[in-house]
Chains A and B, each alone.
Chain A
Amino acid sequence: GQNIDQPTEMTATEGAIVQINCTYQTSGFNGLFWYQQHAGEAPTFLSYNVLDGLEEKGRFSSFLSRSKGYSYLLLKELQMKDSASYLCAVRENDYKLSFGAGTTVTVRA
């Protein structure tokens, strides 16, 4: 089973940086994913980490530390359209994907 924890809500100002942390416990790790979900819409894929380190993709970066069971999603140069729920998901060796409850990010002007 999975135990995935991430903050419920975060608020930041347009142009700022926000870091969303995710901690997890798993018996067989096979990848960590971040998804973005705008209200009333389906989740969309943001990033995938399976090895330790930082993956950068434009304004979004994702970091993984397998030994610590820890990941973060970094959103830079925040824009109003970044207001959404951000879901951390962990895949186990049997390829089951478990999602955290999601972090609602609100970007203020």
Chain B
Amino acid sequence: KAGVTQTPRYLIKTRGQQVTLSCSPISGHRSVSWYQQTPGQGLQFLFEYFSETQRNKGNFPGRFSGRQFSNSRSEMNVSTLELGDSALYLCASSSEMTGYNEQFFGPGTRLTVL
């Protein structure tokens, strides 16, 4: 079974631009969560999608948004990029097979904002 995939793996943008990151969960996984990881703040929860609906949201500004498609693939968008948005963005999927207790992480997208 293929793991969680994320595209692109690396991205360089400049302040003020916007970016869209993509995540394809493991086949059959309906829950997709997004996280931001930085050396200073660690892993922080952005939001979770389940069956195309946002089920949970972390404490991030409205510039961070996401969506999930009917095939469970998810995208997250960051508008008006700031230098502080430079981070590793990870998505993770889970399924009812493990009671949604075990999250499988993708390799992440490394975003650099100049």
CB distance from B32 to the nearest CB of A (A): 13
Whether A87 pairs with B43 at a CB distance below 8 angstroms is yes
Tally of contact residues, A, Cβ under 8 A: 19
Residues of A within 8 A of B64 (CB): none
Chain B interface size band reads 20 to 34
Whether B90 pairs with A31 at a CB distance below 8 angstroms is no
For A1, the closest partner residue in chain B by CB is: B59
Dominant secondary structure at the B interface: strand
Q: Which of A8-51 contact B (CB under 8 A)?
A: 31, 33, 41-45, 48
Residues of B within 8 A of A43 (CB): 43, 90, 105
Known A45-B102, A45-B103, A94-B56: A99·B108 in contact at CB below 8 Å:
no
CB distance from B60 to the nearest CB of A (A): 12
Known A94-B56, A95-B48, A96-B58: A42·B106 in contact at CB below 8 Å:
yes
Whether A45 pairs with B42 at a CB distance below 8 angstroms is no
Q: Which of B5-61 contact A (CB under 8 A)?
A: 33, 35, 42-45, 48, 55-56, 58
Q: Which of B69-112 contact A (CB under 8 A)?
A: 90, 100-108
Which 7 residue pairs across A and B have the least CB separation, nearest first? A42-B105, A99-B43, A101-B42, A45-B102, A48-B101, A96-B56, A43-B105
A contacts, CB < 8 Å to B: 31, 33, 41-45, 48, 87, 89, 94-102
Q: What are 25 A-B residue pairs whose CB atoms fall within 8 Å in the complex?
A: A31-B101, A41-B107, A42-B90, A42-B107, A42-B108, A43-B43, A44-B105, A45-B102, A45-B104, A48-B101, A87-B43, A89-B43, A95-B55, A95-B100, A96-B48, A96-B56, A97-B45, A97-B103, A99-B35, A99-B42, A99-B43, A99-B44, A99-B45, A101-B42, A102-B43
